[in-house]
Amino acid sequence: MAVDPLIELRDVNKYYGELHVLQDIDLTVGKGEVVVVIGPSGSGKSTLCRTINRLETIESGSIRLDGQPLPEEGKALAQLRAEVGMVFQSFNLFAHKTVLQNVSLAQVKVRKRKKDEADKRSRELLDRVGLAAHADKFPAQMSGGQQQRVAIARALAMDPKALLFDEPTSALDPEMINEVLEVMQQLARDGMTMVVVTHEMGFARTAADRVVFMADGKIVEDRAPEEFFTHPESERARDFLSKIL
């Protein structure tokens, strides 16, 4: 597509011991693009997300963020992690801190904002995810869907250039999935660059610009959602879709 690339992976290879978990991965995510990653369990989707954020090292290839190669370590790496927010299946909120504190903490520590300024931004973001009235609660007082929306607000609080979601609704009771997907849909409409690992095919169809199908550490298909869902090219994708749709 004719937009500036934000995330660029070229010929990325990663091993866990003998396991070649990412094989010659080429992936470009443009600014404002939403890429949904699907594929069988164990195909390397989570590893791909973690690799983009340098939570994992790679054996070969290159990863660029907004034109810059990913730094190896140190301050530059911490800065980069702040540029790419990550939302996990388990919400990873601090249990002994309030919702407001959860969203403000890294703003003060990493973005060096004053506490007042951070709290103000946190309240704006909690409002954006529909939780303005819950700022003083503790995570355990909230439902899973609400906690995941707090986690999204916390990621947004760093003003990231991109957000990575790794199965953000997989740990939720069914009735809570939509409230989280709606927040994500809104982010997509607002132009956030997103990489989303999910089994929610409705989300993929409506929010994704592209669907990336992974199997055995490889990107097997990378296409527009409608094309992918109606005419999957590979046997692997046809087999996968027949099981989940």
The site for ligand ADP (CB under 6 A) is made up of 16, 19, 21, 39, 41-47
End-to-end CA distance of the chain: 28
If binding is defined by CB under 5 A, does position 198 make contact with Mg ion? Answer: no
CB 99 within 8 A of CB 131: yes
Where helices occur in 53-135 by DSSP H, the ranges are: 74-83, 99-109, 115-128
Residues near Mg ion (CB under 5 A), total: 2
DSSP state of 106: H
Q: Which does 172 bind (CB under 5 to 8 A by kind): Mg ion, ligand ADP, none?
A: none
Binding mask 24-63 for Mg ion (x = CB under 5 A): ---------------------xx-----------------
Shortest distance (Å) from residue 120 CB to Mg ion: 35
Nearer to Mg ion, 128 or 199 (CB): 199
Binding mask 128-167 for Mg ion (x = CB under 5 A): ----------------------------------------
Q: Per the structure block, which two tokens stand in for 124? A: 């704006």
Shortest distance (Å) from residue 45 CB to Mg ion: 5
Shortest distance (Å) from residue 138 CB to ligand ADP: 30
Order of all β-strands in the sheet with 193-197: 84-87, 162-166, 193-197, 34-38, 210-215, 218-223
CB 214 within 8 A of CB 44: yes
Q: Which does 94 bind (CB under 5 to 8 A by kind): ligand ADP, Mg ion, none?
A: none
Shortest distance (Å) from residue 212 CB to ligand ADP: 12
Distance CA 97, CA 132 (A): 16
Instruction: Say if strands 68-69 and 60-65 run parallel, antiparallel, or are unpaired.
Output: antiparallel
Burial per residue of 25-43, b for 16 or more beta-carbon CB atoms within 10 angstroms, e otherwise: bebbbbebbbbbbbbbeeb
Q: Which does 242 bind (CB under 5 to 8 A by kind): Mg ion, ligand ADP, none?
A: none
Nearer to Mg ion, 46 or 53 (CB): 46
Q: Which does 43 bind (CB under 5 to 8 A by kind): ligand ADP, Mg ion, none?
A: ligand ADP
Residues making contact with Mg ion (CB under 5 A): 45-46
